[in-house]
Structure 1
Amino acid sequence: MAILKFRIYFEEDESVYRDVAIRHTQTFRELNDTILKAYEFDSKHKATFFRSNDHWQRGREISLEKYDKEYKAPPLLMAETSIGSEIRDPNQKFIYLYDFNKNWTFLVELINVSKEENPKISYPSTVRVEGIAPSQYGTKGLLGEKFADVEEKYDLSSVGDGFGEKDEDGEDLGLGEESQGGDEEEA
């Protein structure tokens, strides 16, 4: 059974990519799910593949479902289309579009075909990860959940003791904390 290895580039930064190994008999739906998992995206949005050429021009569409839009030709459905059936040349390319509102675009390129399965791998599988994946919903994902906990615990948004405001002569302008020594009298 042929094992296909695809390199999935994040369109905006080619140094960010994931390599995925998949059987040629598996479907585009399985490839879709593997790409989302590899980039740590959820699966709540619309998605489609386009068969492509060396110039990354969009060809025949292989869609998650038939969407309410105009098609030049009816799309193939991911769940019904095996990957091997859409391989036209040894360097076959696809464009993967996810979340039509955000237009996450990935360039999918066939980089290797092997006749031997690796018994240690459960296909489909992500076999290589390069670069930091983009955050699907903003920058919080880059910092992780722990940063939000630290921010709440230490309340980093308020001004603490010792950070009052002073004018150029070093006199307190009264803009800092209210309790700056209690009953000090003005000189």
Structure 2
Amino acid sequence: MHLYRFRITTDTIEDFVREIDISPSQTFEDFQKVFLESGPLSTEGKVYFYKTNARWVKQHEIAEQPMLSVSKEREVDDVRLEEHRLKLPYTHISIARFKDFVDDPHQKFMIEYRGADSYLFFMEMVKILETDSLANYPKCVTHNGDIPTKPIIIPEEILEKSRKPREQKPSFRAFAEEEIPEEEIEKEMKELMEDEVFGAIIEGKDIPSPAEAPRKLTAKEIAEEFGPEFADMLSPDEEEEYEDDDFVDEDINDEFGEDKSSRDFDDDL
């Protein structure tokens, strides 16, 4: 009597390889038990076997129940997709014997595992060998690579990891109870009294209005005060840039005329 040896790999787990020997008369249900143990994979997940051609195109479904029954209550679009699967022949896993589905020396199958995590495995027959009458089959003979397991974290641990420490901010009472040196208070009051508005309020005086603040002279005022030659030289953009302090009421040497400070008034007549 001979055995089938199948090699199982996956693209999602690096270096994952399982090789399982099984008798042709045994079922896919027998194979599934050993496969889940070798994973290891939870038995609560759903396993679907598919016989494929050389290009991994599905030809026959082997499972505890067809995929259609899983999606009957889903949205209409999903049901339409599953209706297409009706064209795919289906056999229950408990009666599907390997000898009825192996017709190629390199027969291929696909395994879909759907549980907390989903995986797609590729299964291919790599050898036909003689049976060992003393061994129990199916049997996993090659075990490389492990399926990663996620650590179990209880909600309290998740909450503790996501919780950020609160920043301790001083309260208003802490500020109120804090003793401030008198020297610092006097310094602050002196600076406040130097402010024109605050000082007027403290001393009970009238607050100076904005109209009393220094303003810039217009071109007309400059002409009346210093002469038209000064006003004529100002452009519209520049005329507001001059204030009273910009002009000095004394004769100086400049580009507008000769220095008259050393000449007598009679010399000009």
- Identity in percent: 24
C-alpha separation between the residues in 1 aligned to 2:17 and 2:37? 13
Confirm or deny that 1:134 pairs with 2:147: yes
Q: Does the CA contact (< 8 Å) of 2:62 and 2:92 recur in 1? A: yes
Q: Which structure's residues are more often strand, by fraction? A: 1
The amino acid that maps onto 2:136 is: S
C-alpha separation between the residues in 1 aligned to 2:41 and 2:98? 22
Q: Which has the larger radius of gyration?
A: 2
Alpha carbons of 1:140 and 1:101: their partners in 2 closer, same or farther (altered >3 Å)? Answer: closer
Mapping of residues 1-187 of structure 1, within 5 Å: 1-13=1-13, 15-67=15-67, 68=69, 69=71, 70=82, 71-99=86-114, 102-114=117-129, 116-131=130-145, 133-135=146-148, 138-140=149-151
| Per-residue deviation, 1:120 | 4.2
SS in 2 for 1:80: coil
Gaps spanning 5+ residues in structure 1: where? 142-147, 149-156, 158-187
| Per-residue deviation, 1:54 | 2.2
The amino acid that maps onto 2:108 is: K
Once the two structures are superposed, residues 20-55 of structure 1 have per-residue CA deviations (whole angstroms, 9 ceiling, x without a partner) of 000010001111111111101121122111111222
Q: How many residues align?
A: 143
C-alpha separation between the residues in 2 aligned to 1:38 and 1:105? 15
SS in 1 for 2:94: helix
Q: Which structure's residues are more often helix, by fraction? A: 2
Query: What is the TM-score with the length of structure 2 in the denominator?
Result: 0.48
Please provide the CA RMSD for this pair: 2.7
Alpha carbons of 1:44 and 1:19: their partners in 2 closer, same or farther (altered >3 Å)? Answer: same
| Per-residue deviation, 1:73 | 3.2
Q: Does the CA contact (< 8 Å) of 2:13 and 2:147 recur in 1? A: no
Q: Does the CA contact (< 8 Å) of 2:12 and 2:119 recur in 1? A: no
| Per-residue deviation, 1:88 | 1.7
C-alpha separation between the residues in 2 aligned to 1:63 and 1:53? 18
